[in-house]
Homo-oligomer: A and B are copies of this chain.
Amino acid sequence: PDQEIKSAALKRLANQARPRGSLGRLEPAAARLASICGRLDVKLDRKTIVTCAGDHGVVEEGVSLFPSEVTAQMVYNFVQGGASINVLAAHAGARVRVADLGVSHDFDPGLDILHKKIRKGTANMATGPAMTREEAAASVEAGIGIANQLADSPGLDLLGTGDMGIGNTTASSAIIAVYSGLPLKELVGPGTGLDEQGLDLKARVIKRALDLNRPDPADPMGVLARVGGLEIGGLAGLVIGAAARQIPVVCDGLISTAGALIACELCPAAGQYIFAGHRSRETGHEYMLRHLGLTPLLDLEMRLGEGTGAALAMHILDACTRILADIKTFEEVGIENAHEG
């Protein structure tokens, strides 16, 4: 990010014909977008949301209301355009690309998704590592490749991240448990709709996975391999890839932010390119946001995933670009600024 552009942006915002600071959190977000894109008149015309999909062996422990088959079924739903992310991405003016990092299903190679399958689902992390270190690295590299591919063609001004994977709130909660050190009771959320009993089971399963695999927070690739997921690796790679291309990234909720967290642990500079789209109702998400030092743009008590929170937040980021470029200054409209008096 270009710090001179950031200063110029903040100066222009402070001189606009309105009370100083009155556009609240839009102002620092606008300045950050300008610094990332290297100009005051930022245009986020080419938006893509990449929804990374993968399955989770830990589902056999009974941590989700839905069976693993639903991951593949939802991929077909995304391709057909009837899912939540299709609707909200269309509303945001964004394309949706679905990436298969590790769904337990053989998709026809002609299916219009990004075919990046590393393996058919992770292993059950409650009985051993979710995947090998090589597989984890391959999932991150796949995400970096997708970001590069989109940036090359059709071009990319703003990347949104999203996820699909039955069982992936369990893996994501394990990751934030590693980095926050907080008890699982505080971190585990209902995912697709667990009741109290289901939450207890989920916490116990994660505890077992952590005790067994002993992930080391200083080794993020190891954390991803031991208790993560293939789509989470892909999401981490998307963030790193976009950051390397100087493209802002807006993250969705728990799972996308787990990917962003791994990305920032692997590559701290990537954090400067991330915007938190929304605050998920999943409790662990708040701790991820704190870890990353991010304040979410929206807080609508959503907990859907797929990239839906990122899609909704894209409108706010577009608004940030417009306020910076288009609101006139006191000087331009001939009104005396109280702060200059």
A: residues with CB less than 8 A from B are: 16-26, 65-66, 70, 73-74, 76-77, 80, 82-84, 86-88, 90-91, 191-193, 281, 297-306, 308, 312, 315-316, 318-319, 322-323, 326-328, 332-335, 338-339, 341
**Inter-subunit contact A24/B82 (CB<8 Å):** no
> How many copies of the polypeptide does the oligomer hold?
2
Q: CA–CA, A91 to B322, complex, Å? A: 8
- For the complex formed, measure the closest distance between the CB of A233 and the CB atoms of chain B, giving whole angstroms: 23
The 6 closest A-B pairs by CB, nearest first: A24-B301, A82-B328, A65-B338, A22-B304, A24-B302, A19-B192
Q: CA–CA, A135 to B156, complex, Å? A: 55
**Inter-subunit contact B87/A300 (CB<8 Å):** no
**Inter-subunit contact B319/A91 (CB<8 Å):** yes
In the complex, which residues of chain B have a beta carbon less than 8 angstroms from the beta carbon of A327? 82-84, 87
Q: Given A23-B304, A335-B74, A17 and B83 touching (CB < 8 A)?
A: yes
**Inter-subunit contact A338/B192 (CB<8 Å):** yes
- For the complex formed, measure the closest distance between the CB of A335 and the CB atoms of chain B, giving whole angstroms: 5
In the complex, which residues of chain B have a beta carbon less than 8 angstroms from the beta carbon of A87? 322-323, 326-327
- For the complex formed, measure the closest distance between the CB of A336 and the CB atoms of chain B, giving whole angstroms: 8
Q: CA–CA, A26 to B80, complex, Å? A: 23
In the complex, which residues of chain B have a beta carbon less than 8 angstroms from the beta carbon of A315? 91, 312, 315
**Inter-subunit contact A22/B338 (CB<8 Å):** no
**Inter-subunit contact A308/B82 (CB<8 Å):** no
Q: Given A302-B24, A328-B82, A338 and B17 touching (CB < 8 A)?
A: no
**Inter-subunit contact B300/A297 (CB<8 Å):** yes
Q: CA–CA, A101 to B319, complex, Å? A: 29
In the complex, which residues of chain B have a beta carbon less than 8 angstroms from the beta carbon of A19? 65, 191-193, 303-304
Contact among B26, B65, B304, B333 for A77, CB-based, below 8 A: B333
Q: CA–CA, A80 to B337, complex, Å? A: 18
**Inter-subunit contact B300/A24 (CB<8 Å):** yes
Given contacts A24-B300, A77-B328, 14 further A-B pairs with CB under 8 A are A18-B304, A22-B302, A22-B305, A23-B302, A24-B281, A73-B335, A80-B333, A82-B326, A82-B327, A87-B322, A91-B315, A91-B318, A299-B299, A312-B316
Contact among B308, B322, B335 for A70, CB-based, below 8 A: B335
Contact among B25, B191, B312 for A301, CB-based, below 8 A: B25
- For the complex formed, measure the closest distance between the CB of A14 and the CB atoms of chain B, giving whole angstroms: 11
**Inter-subunit contact A23/B319 (CB<8 Å):** no
Contact among B70, B83, B193 for A328, CB-based, below 8 A: B83
Q: CA–CA, A319 to B94, complex, Å? A: 14
- For the complex formed, measure the closest distance between the CB of A59 and the CB atoms of chain B, giving whole angstroms: 12
Q: Could you list 24 examples of A-B contacts with CB < 8 Å?
A: A16-B84, A19-B191, A19-B303, A20-B193, A21-B303, A22-B84, A22-B302, A22-B305, A23-B300, A25-B301, A26-B300, A65-B341, A73-B333, A76-B333, A77-B328, A77-B333, A80-B333, A82-B328, A83-B328, A87-B323, A90-B322, A91-B315, A193-B339, A312-B316
